[in-house]
Structure 1
């Protein structure tokens, strides 16, 4: 359900941006690092939203891959640690048998 809400929110956001961009079609002066030019405001809005989305997605992707790598290393460490721990059943059964045998040998019934 969480994923569906995200998709619905993204669709509504894209629709609002598209309507906002279509309303603003007048040409505007755009200053670049290396010069200036004139472009329709609709293109400036859409390119700005696209670049913002790409920047956000790239940061999210970097974080996702870091967490995935950390998860994989922790999972490998966990399986390694599990294999080095002896089973609990084998440890507890043997001492109980020896204690029971000792008690039987000290207390003899007539």
Structure 2
């Protein structure tokens, strides 16, 4: 069903573009300052559209590149912080075990004292 909707919408867009082309076939003068060129209006519109799309692609590529670089730096920092967390958890675990052993030893000695 999605494929049919895609095909039908694509055909409608192509038909609309064809109608737009037929309506804009008259020659139009474009003044570049140093020269004036006559060309069909549709070519002017399409060239402008393509140049705009190219500029958008370039600017978004630059932004995407910066974001990817920042993401890599963030991932590296996350890995470093996770290893630091694991290191600290291991250290706390050792200290907790030592405290638990002391507590058990003290309880045992208290129990022995009470028995005597």
TM-score (ref. length: structure 2): 0.68
Task: State the structure with more CA Rg.
Answer: 2
Superposition CA RMSD, Å: 2.9
Deviation at 1:60, TM superposition (A): 1.1
Counterparts of 1:11-90 in structure 2, within 5 Å, are 15=14, 18-19=17-18, 20-85=20-85, 86=87, 88=89
Deviation digits for residues 51-76 of structure 1 (CA, Å, limit 9, x no counterpart): 11111111111111111000001111
Give the helix-richer structure, 1 or 2: 2
Answer yes or no: is the 8 Å Cα contact 1:28–1:41 preserved in 2: yes
Count residues in correspondence.
101
Deviation digits for residues 73-109 of structure 1 (CA, Å, limit 9, x no counterpart): 1111111222233152552341333323223223335
TM-score (ref. length: structure 1): 0.72
User: 2: distance between equivalents of 1:49 and 1:89?
Assistant: 60
Structure 1: unaligned runs, 5 residues or longer:
1-6
Q: Which has the higher contact order (CA 8 A, sep 6+)?
A: 1
